[in-house]
A and B are shown apart, each in its own frame.
Chain A
Amino acid sequence: MKFRTFAIFVGPSVVLMLLFIAWPLVSVLIDSFHVSRPVMETVSVEVCTPGFLTQTCTREETIRPLVDAAGQPVTERLYVGLESYRQLLQPDVIAHAFSAGGKGLGEVLNIEFFRALRFTITFTLVTLPLVVGLGLVLAIAMNAVVAQLRGVLIFATLLPFIITPVIGALSIRWLFVGDAVLTNFLEWLTGHPVAMFAQGWTIEILMYTYRVWHVAPFAFIIFYAGLQTLDQDALESAIVDGASRWERLRLVIIPHLAPLIIFVSLIHLMDAYRVFDEVIGFSSQAHVISLQYLTFNFLMPDQTGGRAVSRAAASSMLTMIGIVILLIPLLARTWRDHKRGR
Chain B
Amino acid sequence: MSTARALQPGAGLKLLNGGFMTLWVIVALFPMVWIAVMSFRAPVDALATNPLDVLLGPVTLRQSGGLSVIGIVLGLVALIGLFIAPGRIARAMIPRMGKVWLGWLVTCALFAALAAIVLLGALPLAVRAAEWLLAPIPLVGTLGKPFIGTTIDHYRAVWVTHEFWRNFLNSMVVTFGVVTVSLTVGTLAGYALARSGSNLAFWLLIIALVFRALPHSVLVTGYVPLFLQSREALQPLWDSAALGWFLKLFSAQAPTLYGQPIAIIFVLVSINQPFTIWMMRSFFANIPRELDEAARVDGCGYLGAFRRVIMPVMWPGVLTTGLFSFLLAYNDYLVTALLLDAQSQTMVPAISQFLNRDTRAADQIEAIAAAVSIAAPLFLLVMVFQKQIVSGLTQGAVKG
Contacts and interface: CB of A to CB of B under 8 A. Distances in A.
Interface of A: 1, 3, 5-6, 8-10, 12-14, 16-17, 19-21, 23-25, 27-28, 31, 36, 137-138, 141-142, 144-145, 151, 153-160, 162-168, 170-172, 174-175, 178-181, 184, 213, 217-218, 221-222, 224-226, 228-229, 232, 235-236, 239, 245, 259-260, 263-264, 270, 273-274, 276-277, 280, 283, 291-292, 295-296, 299-300, 307, 309, 312-313, 316-317, 319-320, 323-324, 326-327, 330-331, 334-335, 338
Nearest to A9: B192
A139 B217 CA distance: 34
Given A164-B348, A181-B34, A331-B210, A292 B378 contact: no
Contacts of A17: 207-208, 211, 270, 273-274
Contacts of B333: 165-166, 276-277, 280
B273 A16 contact: yes
Given A19-B270, A239-B7, A299-B338, A320 B218 contact: yes
Contacts of A327: 209-210, 213
B355 interface: yes
Closest 5 A/B residue pairs (Cβ) = A24-B222, A20-B270, A9-B192, A225-B394, A13-B189
B240 interface: no
Contact of B394 (A10, A184, A221, A232): A221
Contacts of A280: 333, 352
A181 B31 CA distance: 10
Interface in B358-400: 364, 367-368, 371, 374-375, 378-379, 381-383, 386, 389-390, 393-394, 397-398, 400
Interface string B269-289: 111011001000000000000
B217 A292 contact: yes
A6 B192 contact: yes
Contact of B21 (A3, A142, A260): A142
Given A162-B327, A213-B31, A330-B209, 15 more contacts: A141-B24, A145-B18, A153-B21, A153-B25, A158-B382, A159-B32, A164-B331, A184-B49, A184-B51, A217-B28, A226-B398, A296-B337, A323-B213, A323-B215, A331-B210
A160 B302 contact: no
A172 B196 CA distance: 47
Nearest to B355: A283
Nearest to B373: A167
Contacts of A264: 397
B378 A1 contact: no
Interface of B: 1, 3-4, 6-7, 9, 13-14, 17-18, 20-21, 24-25, 27-32, 34-35, 38, 47, 49, 51, 54, 184-186, 188-189, 191-193, 195-196, 198, 200-202, 204, 206-226, 266-267, 269-271, 273-274, 277, 301-303, 327, 330-331, 333-334, 337-338, 348, 351-352, 355, 364, 367-368, 371, 374-375, 378-379, 381-383, 386, 389-390, 393-394, 397-398, 400
Contacts of A164: 330-331, 348, 374-375, 378
Given A17-B208, A23-B222, A181-B34, A167 B375 contact: yes
B34 A158 contact: no
B371 A156 contact: no
20 contacts: A1-B302, A9-B192, A10-B192, A12-B184, A16-B269, A20-B266, A21-B211, A36-B225, A167-B374, A171-B371, A174-B35, A175-B31, A225-B394, A239-B6, A245-B13, A296-B217, A300-B338, A309-B224, A312-B224, A331-B210
Specify the main secondary structure of chain A where it touches its partner.
Answer: helix
Nearest to B269: A16
A331 B222 CA distance: 25
B200 A6 contact: yes
Nearest to B21: A141
A280 B336 CA distance: 14
Contacts of B201: 6
Nearest to A4: B302
A311 B362 CA distance: 39
Contacts of B398: 225-226, 229
